């Protein structure tokens, strides 16, 4: 742990317990007296960070500086924890809930998905001139989505056209 001398009271304090106010390093007690006497903008105050003390667990590394993660010193154990943080339980539960919701909605609306597939097959058959197969697929669509009368009309028309064709 590194120590520094407070520029106001000239006492020796740990570096991690000091603030830099207008460029001068002062202890917390002196900083509070400065703040009480005058209003100082936040831009002119910054917290001092001791490069030998881990910000995660508070491990004191003596005089040797720790590796930095961003601008903060961390010990190897905390570095591993910060870099490989597991997802919280609520995030995992939300993901499972969303997957269950999506799967249940797909099952609930499967007839519409199937009707879309049948409609695409019908259009493909009609494009190559196979009206009978197209009419069959249109019939499937009409049965899957009976509330949509457009499919019924299209099914009726395609069936009549396929019967008229020689």
- Residue 117: exposure state from Cβ atoms within 10 A (0-12, 13-18, ≥19): middle
User: Is it the case that residue 159 has pLDDT exceeding 90?
Assistant: no
Nearest to 142 by CA among 166, 159, 163: 159
Q: Beta strand 3-5 with 18-21: parallel, antiparallel or unpaired?
A: unpaired
Residue 152's pLDDT is 67
Q: Tell how many helices (H) and how many strands (E) occur in the chain.
A: 6, 7
Q: Which residue has 């009549």 as its token pair?
A: 160
pLDDT category at 124 given cuts 50, 70, 90 is very high
- Which pLDDT tens digit goes with each residue over 63-78? 888 888 888 899 998 8
pLDDT category at 102 given cuts 50, 70, 90 is very high
Nearest to 13 by CA among 43, 48, 42, 39: 48
Length reported for the chain: 166
């Amino acid at each position: 742990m590194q120590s520094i001398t407070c520029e106001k009271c000239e006492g020796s304090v740990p570096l991690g317990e000091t603030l830099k106010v207008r460029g001068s390093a002062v202890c917390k007690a002196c900083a509070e007296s400065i703040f009480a006497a005058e209003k100082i903008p936040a831009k002119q105050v910054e917290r001092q960070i001791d490069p030998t003390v881990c910000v995660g667990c508070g491990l004191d590394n003596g005089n040797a500086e720790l590796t930095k993660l961003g601008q903060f010193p961390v010990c190897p154990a905390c570095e591993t924890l910060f870099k490989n943080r597991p997802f919280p339980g609520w995030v995992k539960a939300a993901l499972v809930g969303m997957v269950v919701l999506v799967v249940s909605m797909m099952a609930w609306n499967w007839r519409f998905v199937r009707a879309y597939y049948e409609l695409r097959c019908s259009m493909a058959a009609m494009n190559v001139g196979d009206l009978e197969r197209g009419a069959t697929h249109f019939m499937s669509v009409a049965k899957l989505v009976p509330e949509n009368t457009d499919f019924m009309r299209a099914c009726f028309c395609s069936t009549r056209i396929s019967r008229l064709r020689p």
